[in-house]
């Protein structure tokens, strides 16, 4: 399933994950059938959630860009968003600022809304805050007062992201950046991951015994996300002294972007490969056999329309940076440039081999 491309802002691609679309369609249909009287407020709430998550991620991304960290895309998932950047900030101060920007935006919205409704005396359920018994009417308030709904969505997003000190959530990043002031980055990540794991286990049991399916899912995401990050940081550190030059494959199969998918298919079959490096007007791209199969109806169209753009590596990059680029982009190979000339490609499989050898090497006798 593909995600839905919505557009580009500040050079960052915005995409809706297909699960988001699925949830959206489900909400629209079930609301229209079962409770048409609350259809509009629910759709409004949903749209506000979408907008708030997007702006939250955009704030992270803008701070990243100001720290010279390129952000490739913002992906919106039903449980929140992710901004995919080309590398992780290793400076604790940068990481702190990037992590805190998203939740701060949400709290700013809460603050501005409270000021606006009190200054202009707009309809707002103030009684909700005065009497704890009014909690029972929470849903009613949410659906009758649009500004209260926007406020609530932003408060929850900000609080959940900032005050849960678990990786890969923003609170976990803030926590790690603070640890990194005292320990080195690898140690700080280890400690933050251990805390996240304990937190995830607690959350899982809480979800299990309270019957909250959502909590158990969040617990699983925290567990997997934090441990994956720990692994990446450890490997990056282990490889920080190795350069990739000896892993380069010198003669990749290249095709020009003006050629057709049919010509790409023929070249793949002739050379026994499932992916080709695409020479673009500016830079390089990649075309996979899957792309050709998917576009079989357009087999006579130019490759340029279907080739994904590839980030470029330099021959003397440390393999730790390279690994991160593979990790964040998920491509099977990346082009290597030296003095603005293509000297070859690096395949993800070579790095995987290096990783396995490293694990083997670390095995105690
Ligand atoms: Zn965030």
Ligand 1: centre distance to CA 160 (Å): 9
15 CA to centre of ligand 1 in angstroms? 16
Q: What is the mean pLDDT of residues 282-292?
A: 91
User: CA-to-CA distance for 270 and 146, rounded, in angstroms?
Assistant: 61
Q: Of the candidates 237, 160, 241, which has an alpha carbon nearest to the alpha carbon of residue 203? A: 160
**Which letter does DSSP use for residue 318 in this model?**
B
Whether residue 192 has pLDDT greater than 90: yes
Mean pLDDT is lowest, of 209-218, 236-245, 276-285, for 236-245
Task: Supply the DSSP string of 258-293, one letter for each residue.
Answer: TSBHHHHHHHHHHHT-SEEEEE-SSSEEEEEHHHHH
Query: Given this model, what pLDDT does residue 365 score?
Result: 65
Contact 147, 124 (CB under 8 A): yes
Whether 276 shows a pLDDT value over 90: the answer reads yes
Q: Please compute the mean of the pLDDT values over residues 331-356 and round it to a whole number.
A: 84
Give the bridge partners for 9, in sequence order. Answer: 12
When pLDDT is averaged across residues 67-82 and rounded to a whole number, the result is: 82
CA of 224 to the centre of ligand 1 (A): 17
The answer to whether residues 152 and 107 touch, using CB atoms and an 8 Å cutoff, is no
Chain-wide mean pLDDT for the chain? Answer: 85
Check whether 360 has a pLDDT greater than 60.
yes
pLDDT higher than threshold 80 for residue 246? no
Give the pair of three-digit tokens for residue 162. 């900032």
Phi, psi angles (nearest 5°) of residue 83:
-105, 120
Determine the pLDDT at residue 240.
Answer: 67
CB 80 within 8 A of CB 170: no
Q: For residue 115, report the distance from its CA to the centre of ligand 1, in Å.
A: 24
> Ligand 1 center to residue 21 CA distance, Å?
21
Give pLDDT, residue 80.
73
- Give the closest residue to 45 by CA, choosing from 157, 160, 213, 171: 157
pLDDT above 80 for 348: yes
Q: pLDDT of 199-236, one tens digit each?
A: 999 999 999 999 888 888 888 888 988 888 888 787 77
For residue 103, report the distance from its CA to the centre of ligand 1, in Å: 6
> What is the C-alpha to C-alpha distance for residues 89 and 165, in angstroms, rounded to an integer?
18
């Amino acid at each position: 399933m593909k995600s839905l491309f919505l557009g580009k802002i500040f050079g960052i691609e915005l995409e809706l994950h297909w699960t988001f679309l699925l949830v959206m369609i489900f909400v629209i249909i079930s609301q229209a059938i079962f409770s048409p009287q609350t259809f509009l407020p629910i759709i409004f709430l949903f749209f506000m959630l979408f907008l708030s998550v997007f702006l939250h991620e955009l704030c992270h991304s803008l701070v990243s860009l100001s720290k010279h960290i390129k952000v490739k895309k913002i992906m919106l998932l039903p449980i929140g968003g992710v901004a995919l950047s080309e590398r992780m900030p290793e400076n604790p101060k940068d990481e702190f600022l990037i992590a805190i920007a998203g939740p701060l935006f949400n709290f700013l919205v809460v603050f501005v809304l409270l000021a606006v409704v009190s200054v202009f005396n707009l309809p707002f359920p103030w009684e909700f805050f005065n009497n704890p018994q009014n909690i029972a009417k929470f849903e009613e308030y949410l659906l009758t007062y649009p500004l209260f709904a926007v406020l609530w969505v932003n408060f929850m997003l900000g609080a959940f992201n900032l005050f849960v000190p678990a990786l890969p959530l923003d609170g976990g990043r803030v926590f790690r950046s603070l640890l990194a002031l005292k320990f080195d980055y690898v140690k700080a990540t280890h400690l933050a991951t251990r805390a996240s794991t304990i937190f995830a286990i607690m959350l899982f049991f809480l979800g299990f015994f309270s019957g909250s399916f959502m909590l158990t899912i969040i617990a699983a995401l925290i567990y997997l996300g934090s441990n994956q990050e720990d692994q990446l940081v450890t490997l990056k550190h282990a490889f920080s002294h190795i350069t990739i030059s000896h892993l380069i494959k010198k003669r990749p199969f290249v095709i020009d972007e003006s050629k057709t998918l049919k010509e790409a298919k023929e070249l793949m079959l002739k050379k026994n490969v499932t992916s080709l490096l695409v020479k673009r007007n500016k830079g390089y791209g990649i075309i996979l056999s899957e792309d050709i199969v998917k576009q079989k109806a357009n087999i006579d169209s130019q490759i340029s329309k279907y080739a994904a753009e590839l980030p470029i590596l330099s021959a003397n990059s440390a393999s730790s940076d390279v690994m991160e680029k593979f990790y964040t982009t998920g491509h099977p190979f990346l082009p290597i440039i030296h003095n603005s000339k293509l000297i070859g490609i690096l395949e993800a499989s070579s790095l995987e081999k290096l990783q396995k050898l490293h694990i083997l090497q670390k095995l105690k006798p």
